[in-house]
Structure 1
């Protein structure tokens, strides 16, 4: 390898390490300032968080919490890689989980059939719900941001309509929920002490691997990224932009349909009025934090779970309840800003190097002309 190549490789590695380190330092300092502003000791807060988060029951809780977060981030990231903003993951996973719960509660098949039917139903419903935004964008030019936000509201209203005792739900005390899934619809768990890890973590692993392979190692993934960077250039190379937009929204929605599966198949076994909401919006932050990279999003989902888990303990230590939310926002902003600063710095270095090489070639050419 030439010296120039070695220098370029070293600079690339240093720049890759500089961004997360800068983000980490900035997030730590800013969070400390915020905690200190409330009149509490920031160092004690971090000690409490690390100590409580290192306990085995907290680690299991964090992993289980990170599963839907990761799936939500993956769904958002598929759109991000194509410069599409699927803000409707929250509605997509809720309407998908609802109808999957209805179908699963109405059937009683062997586990090898029951669980795949529930999962495929969720993916199909999520894909259709997201596909509406894709079709409207390609046929009517409607922004996917507007349509997906509106579809979130429609999803909530649709679920509210059917989630009544005289339609698709049963009443249990003061709550309404779909009929419980039979035992064959319960996903397995991984035995750990003191509580088990949800077996649906394998779904997250499979989605992460598929995301990495399809978007990074296939022609489809190349076309998708090409459209995201420049639609005119992609169209000039023979890529159907409209088809890619619709396909991307369908894939994003299908993955979004899986977000509710950890809760449905490993925890609640029905869809009720207390089914968790808001996970889709959390996925946007985690996708940004993980830079749309499968491993980056995995670490981000675990970090998000860690902050939520340890935030509970901070409240017992009489820290402000809003501290965790502020820390989450600070971390996301620090990562986005740090990566942008490093990106611009690296681009400036590259421009200077190219300028220096062109100047050196020009001087060499002048000397050659003088010698001739």
Structure 2
């Protein structure tokens, strides 16, 4: 699968580091509104051309567009690429509004092209080993889950953090995809949500890079909590914060009738899964039992190249998670429980295998 990458910002470095390890994926072109940044991103990479965005979308050598633009541009770039007959794979969130995401999926169906969506971290050994444990009944019947992300804010380290603090950003749309993709992978789709949010500061100060000390406005909630009511009846509690200093909680805990499972950081591909069994003594480490070993960002593209329409990090999953997040924000504003109209099948589990030899 020949990839044209649009957007050469911070996250692109992680994808670029992965491409040489993916046997069925080839980077052939890059584009960025800042051409110098695109040129710097692929310096030393033979055969990778630097193009304008329009040139890349029209290029016959590109069959799949990797969309690493800011969230507000995700849907527009995807739609333009689809109109040119390209497959698309978008960074998270899939889009900013649920309506935009639906337009992308409809356009792709009409054009007969594939749509993928980050995060692909759920394909790693961390989330997939947890899935095996749940599916094998290691914690009995799942009852509830708690997902917690607490940080004082990305402006402390990111040199261009503006998009984190406008609609389409915030802790929920920025970090929530990792946690909710994992929760859906583990426990199935979400039917309803209840949400609340707050915004204690109207300004943030950039802490690094050439704009250090610059003050930027905040126009979205920076602490969001919600209850996700899964179709299975499991209740997941979500806490996403750019206001908290930190937490000692496990990133995700899944509680069942026979035990509790501690799931590692869903922003990573690996990490220990631990279980505390009813009547047991302390926490036990669960042996790795599933997922792509030694995976990194881009494994979703490899999975897409090999599996085609059966890709696991799919646009349908990305759209469902987007709708869940926007429903939480809607509930936070209205104070009412909100139904989630879409549903999605749990992606097929990943058998334990080397990320470089996928099947």
Q: Which has the higher strand share?
A: 2
Task: Give the number of the structure with larger relative contact order, counting CA–CA contacts within 8 Å between residues 6 or more apart.
Answer: 1
- Which structure features the higher share of helix residues? 1
Q: Which has the larger radius of gyration?
A: 1
